Amino acid sequence: MEIDVYKEWLGIPEGNRPPDHYEILRLVQFEDDLDKIQAHYKKLNNHVRKYASGQYSVRSQELLNELAKAMLCLTDVERKRDYDEGMGREFEDESDGLGRKPILRYLADNKKIGRTQISEIEGFADVRGLTLRDAVVQMKLVDATAATQALAQETGLSFVDLDDMIPEDEVLDQVPRKVVRRHSCLPLFVDDDVLLVACADVPEVDLEDQIRLRFGVPMRPCLATPLAIKKSIDKYYAPGVREESKAANGESVDDDPKTSKEKKPKKQTQKKAVSELTDDEMKQRKQIGLIAICWATIGPAAAVYALVDHPSAFMQYVLPLIVGGAVAGFVFGVFLKR
Tell whether the model's pLDDT for residue 275 goes beyond 50: no
Q: ω before 18 within 30° of 0 (cis)?
A: yes
Classify 26 as helix, strand or coil.
Answer: coil
What rounded mean pLDDT belongs to the chain?
Answer: 80
pLDDT at 24: 94
pTM attached to this predicted model: 0.64
- pLDDT mean over 314-329: 62
List, as own/partner pairs, every contact residues 259-268 make where C-beta atoms lie below 8 angstroms and the sequence separation is at least 24, other chains included: none
Choice between 337 and 12, residue whose per-residue pLDDT is larger: 12
pLDDT at 322: 65
Q: Residue 35's pLDDT band (boundaries 50, 70, 90)?
A: confident
Classify 183 as helix, strand or coil.
Answer: helix
Burial of 72 from C-beta contacts in 10 A (0-12 / 13-18 / 19+): buried
Choice between 271 and 1, residue whose per-residue pLDDT is larger: 1
The set of residues, in sequence order, having a beta carbon less than 8 Å from that of 81 and lying 6+ positions away, is 91, 96, 97, 98
- pLDDT mean over 156-170: 89
Q: ω before 226 within 30° of 0 (cis)?
A: no
For 10-19, how does the pLDDT look when each residue is reduced to its tens digit (9 = 90+)? 988 888 888 9
Whole-angstrom distance, CA of residue 19 vs CA of residue 17: 5
- pLDDT mean over 117-136: 94
Q: Which residues pair with 194 in a beta bridge?
A: 191
pLDDT at 269: 42
Q: List, as one string, the DSSP characters of 29-47.
A: TT---HHHHHHHHHHHHHH
Tell whether the model's pLDDT for residue 253 goes beyond 60: no
Choice between 296 and 123, residue whose per-residue pLDDT is larger: 123
For 188-199, how does the pLDDT look when each residue is reduced to its tens digit (9 = 90+)? 988 888 999 999
Distance of CA 58 to the CA centre of its chain: 23
pLDDT at 299: 60
Ramachandran quadrant class, 88 (left: phi over 0; alpha: psi -120 to 50; beta: rest): left
